[in-house]
């Protein structure tokens, strides 16, 4: 593997995408290719999210266990953290189209196994938390959902491949918009599917959609050169190569830490948002609520696609994380459905700009040949934060905080702040988690790493004059 340059201003790496590819979005064929990949990835995300949301709803409704939903959600992020580095290494070593095909095939196989378990076992056996069948059934679905995330890492590098550098932020915003639209569809139909059709038919729908997306993906052709072979055999998890690439851009590791702030509060939401909503709404209504609030994804991503992220995406990201924390501290202070719904909508509108900021910086300061490993490293580091908080908060809330707030002492102590109503224990967790986010992101502005990375981003230049190699690139 070739060494990455020691400065972000040295971006003329021979493995960078050729100029004819990087600017191909301006051509109708390039635009169609990018949009086809984007839409296909959105369909794949819809399918896995549809089944994953449905599994979470089904488990909670049948068991009423916050602990079970917290473990299920936390395990997803934990496995994503464990395998993200593997995914990033695979993305760098293979053509992106083949990576996406492989991801789709593995996801389809996992969902088919889950379908076989559903047909072979009674529903009561699959819902017995003390038996292995529940964990096997959920684990297989979990595996399919985790592997599907390999496509998202490949998609981030595809933006670098097909979109000119000055349009990266806008393209990343477009990605957020499409994913937000997918989330709308997923949220609405997951609740409706579980409520009206049950988990069996929901699983069948997910299998059919996964197969359809895979067939469509096989028809897409992405112009890309074959990645150069490493000088030495590299391990499956190329941690050393990822660390070299991260260190080559001063302050980049700090950016990953900044992005992790968002995932810290995300772990709390993962464990408690659905139980809070399902106590407030019927499952069918809750699915519609999530679908409506997910339009915030579309608005937030659309604003980034239109206006970008400003001259300093890092500063923009930190202010948005502070806003997320403040929002998390107040949107459950009262047991008012409209306050919760508005708060979720605003929170979802803030997610695409935060994610687009990190992606835009990495796409500018990291050579194309190592971007997969850097995106994988970032995903591993950031995803590890959510399961930590999820695994800690779910049992703590289930066994201590919720019973405490249901008693006289808890209501007397916190009643003036949180008011009366259901799920005041969950509201107390949201309040303190949000305050922590505000403090952590505010302190980040004072760090030396923030100043260095902001300066490096402002002065880094990506050179696109790599010749016309793309004109002879193989097209799959």
Over the stretch 446-456, which tens digit does the pLDDT of each residue have? 888 788 878 87
Confidence of residue 101 (pLDDT cuts 50, 70, 90): very high
* pLDDT tens figures, 242-286: 777 777 777 777 777 777 766 767 777 767 887 888 888 887 788
Confidence of residue 111 (pLDDT cuts 50, 70, 90): very high
For residue 8, the model assigns a pLDDT of: 31
Across 53-61, average pLDDT: 81
Q: Are 296 and 346 in contact (CB under 8 A)?
A: yes
For residue 233, the model assigns a pLDDT of: 54
Confidence of residue 7 (pLDDT cuts 50, 70, 90): very low
Instruction: Say whether pLDDT at 5 is over 60.
Output: no
For residue 102, the model assigns a pLDDT of: 93
Which H, E and C letters describe 395-440, residue by residue? Answer: HHHHHHHHHHHHCHHHHHHHHHHHCCCCCHHHHHHHHHHHHHHHHH
Instruction: Say whether pLDDT at 475 is over 60.
Output: no
Across 121-134, average pLDDT: 82
| Percent of the chain scoring above 70 in pLDDT | 79
Half-sphere exposure of 144 (CA within 13 A, CB side): 31
Confidence of residue 342 (pLDDT cuts 50, 70, 90): very high
Predicted model pTM: 0.66
Q: How far apart are CA 212 and CA 401, in angstroms?
A: 45
The residue to which tokens 């979802």 are assigned: 348
For residue 410, the model assigns a pLDDT of: 83
For residue 462, the model assigns a pLDDT of: 47
170 vs 439 pLDDT, higher one: 439
* pLDDT tens figures, 311-326: 888 888 889 989 988 9
129 vs 11 pLDDT, higher one: 129
Confidence of residue 299 (pLDDT cuts 50, 70, 90): confident
Q: Helices marked H in 4-95 — which ranges?
A: 19-22, 28-63, 66-93
Confidence of residue 230 (pLDDT cuts 50, 70, 90): low
Phi and psi angles of residue 413, each rounded to the nearest 5 degrees, phi first = -75, -45
For residue 85, the model assigns a pLDDT of: 77
For residue 21, the model assigns a pLDDT of: 40
Ramachandran quadrant class, 338 (left: phi over 0; alpha: psi -120 to 50; beta: rest): alpha
For the beta carbon of residue 288, count every other beta carbon within 10 angstroms: 17
Confidence of residue 23 (pLDDT cuts 50, 70, 90): very low
For residue 235, the model assigns a pLDDT of: 59
Average confidence score pLDDT of the chain: 77
Q: How far apart are CA 364 and CA 218, in angstroms?
A: 30
Confidence of residue 183 (pLDDT cuts 50, 70, 90): low
For residue 261, the model assigns a pLDDT of: 65
For residue 468, the model assigns a pLDDT of: 37
Beta bridge partners of 223: 475
**Which pair of tokens denotes residue 119?**
């047909």
Q: Are 344 and 331 in contact (CB under 8 A)?
A: yes
- Ordered by where they begin, the domains of the chain are 19-227+243-460 (1.20.1250.20)
């Amino acid at each position: 593997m070739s060494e990455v340059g020691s400065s972000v201003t040295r971006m003329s790496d021979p493995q960078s995408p050729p100029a004819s590819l990087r600017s191909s979005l301006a051509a109708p064929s390039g635009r169609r290719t990018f949009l086809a990949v984007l839409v296909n990835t959105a369909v794949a995300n819809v399918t896995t999210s549809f089944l994953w949301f449905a599994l979470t709803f089904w488990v909670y409704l049948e068991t009423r266990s916050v602990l079970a939903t917290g473990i299920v959600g936390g395990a997803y992020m934990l496995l994503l953290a464990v395998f993200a580095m593997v995914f990033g290494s695979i993305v760098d070593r293979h053509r992106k189209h083949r990576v996406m095909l492989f991801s789709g095939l593995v996801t389809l196989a996992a969902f088919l196994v889950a379908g076989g378990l559903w047909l072979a076992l009674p529903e009561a056996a699959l819902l017995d938390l003390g038996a292995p069948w529940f964990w096997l059934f959920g684990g297989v679905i979990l595996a399919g959902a985790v592997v599907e995330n390999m496509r998202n890492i490949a998609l981030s590098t595809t933006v670098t491949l097909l979109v000119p550098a000055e349009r990266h932020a806008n393209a990343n915003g477009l990605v957020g918009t499409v994913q937000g639209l997918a989330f709308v569809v997923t949220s609405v139909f997951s609740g409706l599917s579980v409520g009206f059709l049950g988990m069996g038919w929901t699983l069948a729908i997910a299998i059919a959609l996964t197969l359809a997306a895979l067939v469509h993906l096989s028809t897409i052709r992405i112009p890309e050169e074959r990645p150069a072979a490493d000088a030495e055999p590299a391990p499956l998890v190329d941690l050393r190569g990822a660390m070299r690439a991260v260190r080559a851009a001063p302050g980049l590791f700090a950016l990953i830490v900044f992005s992790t702030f968002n995932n810290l509060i995300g772990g709390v939401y993962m464990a408690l948002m659905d139980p809070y909503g399902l106590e407030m709404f019927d499952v069918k209504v809750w699915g519609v609520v999530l679908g409506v609030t997910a339009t915030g994804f579309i608005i937030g991503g659309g604003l980034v696609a239109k206006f970008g992220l400003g001259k300093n995406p890092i500063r923009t990201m930190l202010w948005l994380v502070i806003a997320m924390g403040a929002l998390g501290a107040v949107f459950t202070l009262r047991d008012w459905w409209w306050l919760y719904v508005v708060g979720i909508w605003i929170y979802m509108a803030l997610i695409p700009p935060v994610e687009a900021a990190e992606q835009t910086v990495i796409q500018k300061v990291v050579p194309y040949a190592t971007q997969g490993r850097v995106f994988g490293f970032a995903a591993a580091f950031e995803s590890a934060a959510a399961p930590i908080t999820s695994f800690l908060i779910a049992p703590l809330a289930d066994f201590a905080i919720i019973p405490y707030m249901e008693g006289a002492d808890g209501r007397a102590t916190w009643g003036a702040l949180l008011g009366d109503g259901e799920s005041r224990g969950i509201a107390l967790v949201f309040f303190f988690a949000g305050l922590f986010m505000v403090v952590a992101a505010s302190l980040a502005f004072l760090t030396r790493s923030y100043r260095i990375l902001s300066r490096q981003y402002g002065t880094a230049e990506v050179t696109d004059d790599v010749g016309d190699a793309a004109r002879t690139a193989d097209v799959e």
